[in-house]
């Protein structure tokens, strides 16, 4: 019987893909089998358009303990017998439909990815993007997402220590909600999801299975939004209190050494968890769905297999050890059900009691087709690159008014109103919390600390995806460096529109190529990640937005450095390019150009080898105790970076900067590879020597002190005044 187009649309399969299924099976799949193919061959699970491109990323490092893509997250050796496990993942589409639950379950899902590696979750970060706050719908999405993150993270007792929030028209109706989790584990106790032990009992633990989240992977996350489609039932519903005890129960079960494999039930639910675990182990699986604990009556096998109900894990345990593991879950009052066995033959045989509803070979299910398309930049893209400084008039208002406007921009203004809703001190590891360039967490039992950061810049990638891809990796590493940490590894979440459009595929390919080049030069392998495509509605795609999460290591936690000026009478200097000359690329994609002139244009540029040297100087200076603060010069340019250092340190600044006629590009341009540092006068010669040795310019900008913020004769205002503007900017915009 021929399948209908409506059925294929529901599970996001094309007619060509359905024909391929028929060819591989040599028969028609039944509805449950077809639903499983739809889930596992979805973009979200199968990475159909991205996997060939992701091979560009380097995964090699003496510290990497995991194979990228083979497990739920990446693991990195930090010494002392310990490893850090981390990953970032998207929950964009669910958050657009139901922001609170979409964001909350995004947090829950990424935490379980870390748990599936056997690690204790120790930190959360997030990267969020919304449309402008003058639209009530965007305000609704913004507040709902923040509430969801706060509610779930605070309830499970994992600190939310950092993140970023950006606003742009391209994200209207298409918010980006990327959640990152970091875990800690003994390096020799990392768990696997590969179900390789034949005759292992398959235990389903945690919440009952309901009808929430069905088609979340194949429908919601693998196609564009249509106004007339009602998608609310595809959004999962979270229970953070259950997740908290599930974390403790799973960690205790793993500590017994009796669990062969463990897997999270996330996208595509039981289908993905069971099939991927069996495939990774080179085995098959038999399940009895009548043994699955359900919280709704009358659920069909199709619904049970495709439900994305939260707070559920699969454990594979030898038959003789089931009672011991079940006792652990009973202690924590977590339901634990025997639902099947791991079998030697690579097949998926799924019954509902005595009724066999699925009988499929594993390989075709787990091997989604891969597409290598040809990308092409749009004409509009090429036009945006043609930008000259002379096309922008200098603002009549002057530098001080421009500075105040930029400090009040929602993209630059303080996000304290958001992160004060998050508990960032629980677990008592947080050395540097939200608000600085990177968060720093002590590693208990050692003198070390880890630094973590997350960042992205859709505007720059919209203008030049290759350069933008390099820049986002460089900026994350720069954030880690400013804390004193050596960058070790990256995780990424690639947020793009429909890859079936040549211009979007071009953006995706070029961004990955740029990111891969930066990772190679900066020696930071990509150890985990996620791809979120089809982020568009009514024909309008989001800006191409690769979000990168970074992990860095400080051998001495006591040397962690913040962005705030740390005292009076300090020399303030700029590592990297000085301000005496400007180029058109200084204003490319800048907040100044967009907010003051309403334009997103230009051709951004970075010299990644120069970037590496600038960061090396900064880390050496921190390691040697030369500098007392360091702050990445990024959104808003040099003047904004200096103002933020003054505001955060509650200390004035007086500067005499070499500024050319185009003072807007010098003060507010966003040239890459620049770090604002402060240091005692007696350390100046040593810093200059370090910089000279690596061919890095270092420019004196001025001194800290007093209660006023002064730049040449152009800006003279109290620190309290700029603080008020910066602190109230998000709220004044409607946030």
Structure-token match 């270092």, residue found: 698
Single out the residue of 275, 230, 543 nearest to residue 384, CA to CA: 543
* DSSP states along 326-394: HHHHHHTT--EEEEEEEESSSEEEEEETTEEEEEEEHHHHH------------HHHHHHH---GGGSPP
Active site residue 44: yes
Q: Please give the backbone phi and psi of residue 293, each rounded to the nearest 5 degrees, phi first.
A: -75, 130
State the greatest distance between any 2 C-alpha atoms of the chain, in Å, as a whole number: 84
Measuring CA to CA, which residue among 190, 188, 69 is closest to residue 118? 190
Tokens of 471: 């820049």
Active-site position among 49, 91, 93, 424? 91
Dist. CA 559–CA 440, nearest whole Å: 10
Distance CA 516, CA 528 (A): 13
Residue 651 token pair: 């200390």
Residue 331 vs residues 202, 255, 406, 417: alpha-carbon distances, Å: 19, 15, 55, 39
Spatial CA neighbour of 383 closest among 494, 319, 462, 444: 462
Q: Please, which residues bridge with residue 718 across strands?
A: 708
User: In the structure encoding, which two tokens stand for residue 12, read together?
Assistant: 């996001």
Label the pairing between strands 540-541 and 536-537: antiparallel
Q: Is 597 a catalytic residue?
A: no
- Whole-angstrom Cα distance, residue 353 to residue 355? 6
Q: CA distances (Å), 24 to each of 18, 30, 41, 357, 401, in order?
A: 10, 14, 14, 19, 66
Task: Name, in order, each residue with C-beta under 8 angstroms of 343's C-beta and a sequence gap of 6 or more.
Answer: 198, 199, 283, 284, 285, 286, 349
Q: What are 389's two structure tokens? A: 């400084």
CA distance 67 to 72: 10
Q: Which residues are catalytic?
A: 44, 91
């Amino acid at each position: 019987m021929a399948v209908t187009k409506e059925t294929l649309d529901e599970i996001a399969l094309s007619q060509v893909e359905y024909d391929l299924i028929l060819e591989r099976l040599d028969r028609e799949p039944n509805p449950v089998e077809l639903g499983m193919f739809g889930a596992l061959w979805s973009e979200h699970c199968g990475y159909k358009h991205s996997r060939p491109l992701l091979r560009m990323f380097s995964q090699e490092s003496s510290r990497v303990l995991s194979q990228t893509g083979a497990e739920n997250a990446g693991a990195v050796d930090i010494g002392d017998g310990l490893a850090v496990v981390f990953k970032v993942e998207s929950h964009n589409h669910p958050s657009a439909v139901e922001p609170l639950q979409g964001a909350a379950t995004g947090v829950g899902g990424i935490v379980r990815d870390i748990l599936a590696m056997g690690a204790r979750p120790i930190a959360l970060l997030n990267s969020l993007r919304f449309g402008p706050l003058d639209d009530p719908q965007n305000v609704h999405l913004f507040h709902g997402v923040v509430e969801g993150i706060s509610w779930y993270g605070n309830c499970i007792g994992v600190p939310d220590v950092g993140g970023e929030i950006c606003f742009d028209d391209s994200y209207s109706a298409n918010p980006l909600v990327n959640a990152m989790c970091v875990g800690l584990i003994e390096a020799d106790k990392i768990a696997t999801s590969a179900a390789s032990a034949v005759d292992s009992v398959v235990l389903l633990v945690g919440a009952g299975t309901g009808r929430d989240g069905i088609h979340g992977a194949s429908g919601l996350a693998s196609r564009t939004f249509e106004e007339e489609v009602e998608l609310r039932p595809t959004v999962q519903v979270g229970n953070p209190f259950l997740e908290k005890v599930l974390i403790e129960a799973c960690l205790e079960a793993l500590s017994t050494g009796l669990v062969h494999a463990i897997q999270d039930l996330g996208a595509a639910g039981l289908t993905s968890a069971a099939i991927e675990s069996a495939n990774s182990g080179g085995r098959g699986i038999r399940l009895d769905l009548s043994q699955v604990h359900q919280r709704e009556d009358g659920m069909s096998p199709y619904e049970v297999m495709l439900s994305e109900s939260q707070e559920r894990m699969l454990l594979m345990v030898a038959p003789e050890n089931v009672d011991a593991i079940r006792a652990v879950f009973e202690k924590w009052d977590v339901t634990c059900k025997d639902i099947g066995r791991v079998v030697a033959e690579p097949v998926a045989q799924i019954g509902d009691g005595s009724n066999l509803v699925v009988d499929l070979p594993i390989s075709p299910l787990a091997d989604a087709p891969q597409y290598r398309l040809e990308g092409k930049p749009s004409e509009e893209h090429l036009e945006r690159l043609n930008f000259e400084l002379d096309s922008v008039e200098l603002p009549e208002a002057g530098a001080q008014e421009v500075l105040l406007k930029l400090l009040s921009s929602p993209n630059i203004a303080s996000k304290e109103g958001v992160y004060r809703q998050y508990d960032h001190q629980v677990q008592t590891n947080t050395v540097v919390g939200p608000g600085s360039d990177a968060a720093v967490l002590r590693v208990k039992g050692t003198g070390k600390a880890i630094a973590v950061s997350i960042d992205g810049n859709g505007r720059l990638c919209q203008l030049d995806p290759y350069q933008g891809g390099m820049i986002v990796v460089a900026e994350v590493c720069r954030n880690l460096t400013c804390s004193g940490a050596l960058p070790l590894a990256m995780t990424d979440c690639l947020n793009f529109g429909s890859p079936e459009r040549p211009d979007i595929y071009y953006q995706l390919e070029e961004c990955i190529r740029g990111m891969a080049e930066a990772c190679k030069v900066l020696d930071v392998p990509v150890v985990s990640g996620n791809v979120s495509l089809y982020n568009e509605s009514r024909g309008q795609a989001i800006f191409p937005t690769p979000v990168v999460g970074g992990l860095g290591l400080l051998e001495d936690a006591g040397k962690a450095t913040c962005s705030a000026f740390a005292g009076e009478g300090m020399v303030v200097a700029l590592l990297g390019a000085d301000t005496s000359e400007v180029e058109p690329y200084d204003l490319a994609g800048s907040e100044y150009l967009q907010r003051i002139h309403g334009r997103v244009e230009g051709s951004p540029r970075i010299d990644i080898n120069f970037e590496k040297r600038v960061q090396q100087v900064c880390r050496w200076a921190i390691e040697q105790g030369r500098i007392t603060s360091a702050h990445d010069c990024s959104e808003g340019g040099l003047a904004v970076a200096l103002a933020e250092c003054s505001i955060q340190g509650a200390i004035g600044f007086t500067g005499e900067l070499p500024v050319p006629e185009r003072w807007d590009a010098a003060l507010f341009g966003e040239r890459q590879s620049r770090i604002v540092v402060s240091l005692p006068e007696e350390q100046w010669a040593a810093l200059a020597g370090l910089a000279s040795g690596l061919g890095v310019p270092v420019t004196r900008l001025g001194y800290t002190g007093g209660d006023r913020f002064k730049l040449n004769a152009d800006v003279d205002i109290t620190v309290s005044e700029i603080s008020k503007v910066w602190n109230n900017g998000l709220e004044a915009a409607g946030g």
